[in-house]
């Protein structure tokens, strides 16, 4: 009798174990590529939501701090860098994009999450969006408060990012950014304030929401990205130097002259309003164009600059490029990639319409 009971018990345990294994096998396989930032930050006390050290917590510890993730995905972490994102260089962009592309090409990877400081997150997301040829979800995520702070936002953001990365419906939508319950296109999302958890916004709104691990989509990007992009990280060896000059009252062209003298192949004018250029700066930029330096007009207007070609400045006549709705830092990314293909302003302008 006792033996029969023991056998039945062992059988039940075996069935349960098999179910658990089968269930785990069904979970998507996600790789977390960690680069640092506040999501890996630590402060001296729980009230330090703004003064703390970014890039302190290693990826495995970060993952262990959100055990709920193991119920929605099979995850593993890779520590790419451990830096604050304001220190991202072009080399970091290239290294990260190569790593993400390599992971995306693997059969045992369904999606990728990149943890990142929020300062330049929008630049990296756009760069990956333009250079990694995959339909698999790539989600870039950060946090506005370190994990040690009261009401820290990193744990939920990371959980949400993994959930989106494991979602078949997130495929082929370009590189995504998940922050504060929203799913954004990496193309046009930007950090708009540095002290609130709803810091990331796009003039064109989020693509969807992520609530309790479930994605709700409302729109999809129409611009070229990932598999449809003419840029491919597999073919890019280096990136040309592109610098940004800021427009304001009393502006002069000294910074632009210095950038060109230091070897810039293009300069982005973070102009006022419609990418306007002050009367003192116009001749400097004309001179740079005649020297072969590409000039891109973007707008410094926060949260919705919209530069129209041949408005404010005769772009056709001067051979300049209008950045359209891309903010100056995103315009820098596209200009660098464009220059790996051509320096023809007509072709570069086409890229600014298409991407």
Task: Provide the greatest CA pair distance for the chain.
Answer: 98
- Per-residue binder mask for ligand GLU (CB under 6 A), 69-88, x = binder: ---------------xxx--
How many angstroms separate the Cα of 59 from the Cα of each of 91, 118, 147, 167, 184? 21, 17, 13, 22, 23
Say if CB 82 and CB 34 are below 8 A apart. yes
Indicate if the alpha-carbon torsion angle 214, 216, 221, 222 is positive or negative.
positive
DSSP reduced 3-state for 13: helix
DSSP class of residue 110 equals -
Q: Is 149 in the site for ligand GLU (CB under 6 A)?
A: no
177 touching ligand GLU, by CB under 6 A: no
Q: Which is nearer to ligand GLU, 118 or 327 (CB)?
A: 118
Helices (H) and strands (E) in the chain — how many of each?
10, 14
Residues 9 to 48 in contact with ligand GLU, rule: CB under 6 A = 36-38
Asked if 147 is part of the footprint of ligand GLU (rule: CB under 6 A), the reply reads no
Selected binder of ligand GLU within 142, 275, 305, 328 (CB under 6 A)? 142
Instruction: Indicate whether 118 belongs to the interface with ligand GLU (CB under 6 A).
Output: yes
Q: Any contact of residue 197 with ligand GLU (CB under 6 A)? A: no
- Round to whole Å and give the CA distance between 341 and 240: 11
DSSP 40: G
Closest residue to ligand GLU, based on beta-carbon distance: 117
Binding status of residue 124 toward ligand GLU by CB under 6 A: no
Nearer to ligand GLU, 153 or 167 (CB): 153
For 199-266, what is the HEC assignment?
CEECCCCCCEEEECCEEEECCCCCCCCHHHCCCCHHHCCCCCCEEEEECCCCCCCHHHHHHHHCCCCE
Which C-beta is closer to ligand GLU: that of 38 or that of 201?
A: 38
The reply to whether 38 belongs to the active site is yes
Nearer to ligand GLU, 85 or 269 (CB): 85
State in angstroms the smallest separation of the CB of 54 from ligand GLU: 4
Secondary structure of residue 184 in the 3-state scheme: strand
Q: Is 144 an interacting residue with respect to ligand GLU (CB under 6 A)?
A: yes
Which C-beta is closer to ligand GLU: that of 84 or that of 293? 84
Determine which one of 35, 38, 115, 118 is catalytic: 38
Q: Is 201 in the site for ligand GLU (CB under 6 A)?
A: no
List interacting residues with ligand GLU (CB under 6 A): 36-38, 54, 84-86, 117-119, 142, 144
Catalytic positions are 38
């Amino acid at each position: 009798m006792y033996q029969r009971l023991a056998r039945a018990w062992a059988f039940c345990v075996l069935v349960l174990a098999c179910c658990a294994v089968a269930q785990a096998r069904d979970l998507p396989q996600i790789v977390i590529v960690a680069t640092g930032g506040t999501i890996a930050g630590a402060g001296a006390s729980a009230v330090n939501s703004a003064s703390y050290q970014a890039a302190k917590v290693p990826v495995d510890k970060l993952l262990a701090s959100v055990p709920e993730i193991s119920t929605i995905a099979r995850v593993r972490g890779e520590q790419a860098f451990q830096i604050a994102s304001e220190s991202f260089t072009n080399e970091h962009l290239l290294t990260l994009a190569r790593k993400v592309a390599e992971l995306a090409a693997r059969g045992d990877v369904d999606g990728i999450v990149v943890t990142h400081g929020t300062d330049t997150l929008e630049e990296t997301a756009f760069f990956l969006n333009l250079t990694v040829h995959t339909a698999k979800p790539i989600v870039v995520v950060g946090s506005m408060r370190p994990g040690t702070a009261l009401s820290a936002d990193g744990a939920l953001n990371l959980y949400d990012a993994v959930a989106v990365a494991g979602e078949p419906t997130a495929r082929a939508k370009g590189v995504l950014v998940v922050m504060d319950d929203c799913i954004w296109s990496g193309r046009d999302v930007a950090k708009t304030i540095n002290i609130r958890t709803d810091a990331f916004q796009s003039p064109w709104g989020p693509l969807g929401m992520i609530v309790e691990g479930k994605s709700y989509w409302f729109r999809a990007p129409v611009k070229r990205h990932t598999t449809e992009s003419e840029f491919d990280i597999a073919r890019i060896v280096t990136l040309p130097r592109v610098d940004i000059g800021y427009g304001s009252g009393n502006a002069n062209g000294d910074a632009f002259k210095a950038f060109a003298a230091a070897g810039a192949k293009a300069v982005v004018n973070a102009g006022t309003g419609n990418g306007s250029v002050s009367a003192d700066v116009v001749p400097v930029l004309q001179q740079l164009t005649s020297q072969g330096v590409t000039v891109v007009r973007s707008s410094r207007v926060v949260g919705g600059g919209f530069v129209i070609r041949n408005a404010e400045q005769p772009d056709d006549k001067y051979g300049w490029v209008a950045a359209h709705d891309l903010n100056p830092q995103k315009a820098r990314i596209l200009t660098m990639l464009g220059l790996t293909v051509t320096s023809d302003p007509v072709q570069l302008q086409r890229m600014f319409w298409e991407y």
